[in-house]
């Protein structure tokens, strides 16, 4: 992809939070509302930031609400409704007071953050994820957000392949669909 690496990272966080915190189906099985939202949110953030601190239960609950909003953006793009996706992202940017600010911490070089100072942890992530998705939607890659097209799966993804042909959340779902297609072809008449 062509956008900067921090954007890439917050978009990956958005994908991960949606996939760990929103109910639906995953890889052919029901995916219920997580019993422990704090643990699910911790897993989601650690999928991107491996040493991220443990998320509390109340933060997890707040992040689950953020994730539900983020899911509607992926779903709208997957349905070809970029207008709705843009409307939802704009609403999130406004509510979270997302704004760019250069920061330097933990020995890292100066880099751009997107959240307001003094917000809640979930509010900061909402601002960051909304900004990341806004950059994607405002670019030539606006159709790269997707919802898995395998049966009984609604996990989301961002397609970073060169030609933009990704259709599944994971190689597991890609494999399930391939196997089903193979069985259908080889089934005796
Ligand atoms: Zn899938």
Say what the pTM is. Answer: 0.91
Domains, the chain, with CATH or none: 5-143 (1.10.3300.10)
CA of 170 to the centre of ligand 1 (A): 6
pLDDT at 116: 64
Q: Any residues with CB less than 8 A from the CB of 15 and at least 6 apart, and which?
A: 74, 156, 157, 158
Q: Which mean pLDDT values do the consecutive 10-residue runs of the chain (189 residues) have?
A: 68 97 98 97 95 96 97 98 97 92 85 77 94 94 95 96 92 94 80
How many CB atoms sit inside 10 A of residue 147's CB?
A: 21
pLDDT at 133: 96
pLDDT at 187: 74
pLDDT at 1: 44
CA of 43 to the centre of ligand 1 (A): 18
pLDDT at 182: 86
Torsion of CA 91, 73, 117, 135, to 10 degrees: -100
CA of 19 to the centre of ligand 1 (A): 10
């Amino acid at each position: 992809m062509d956008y900067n690496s921090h954007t890439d990272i917050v978009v990956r966080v958005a994908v991960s939070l949606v996939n760990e915190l929103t109910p639906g189906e995953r890889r052919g099985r029901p995916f219920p509302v997580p019993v422990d939202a704090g643990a699910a949110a911790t897993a989601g953030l650690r999928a991107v930031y491996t040493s991220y601190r443990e998320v509390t239960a109340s933060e997890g609950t707040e992040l689950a609400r953020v994730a539900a909003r983020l899911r509607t953006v992926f779903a709208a793009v997957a349905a070809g409704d970029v207008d709705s996706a843009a409307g939802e992202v704009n609403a999130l940017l406004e509510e979270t007071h997302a704004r760019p600010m250069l920061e330097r911490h933990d020995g890292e070089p100066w880099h751009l953050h997107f959240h307001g100072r003094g917000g809640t942890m979930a509010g900061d992530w909402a601002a960051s994820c909304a900004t990341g998705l806004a950059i994607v939607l405002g670019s030539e890659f606006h159709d790269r957000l997707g919802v898995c097209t395998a049966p009984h799966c609604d996990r989301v993804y961002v397609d970073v392949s060169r030609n933009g042909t990704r259709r599944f959340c994971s190689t597991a779902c890609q494999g399930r669909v391939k196997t089903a297609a193979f069985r259908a072809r080889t089934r005796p008449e």
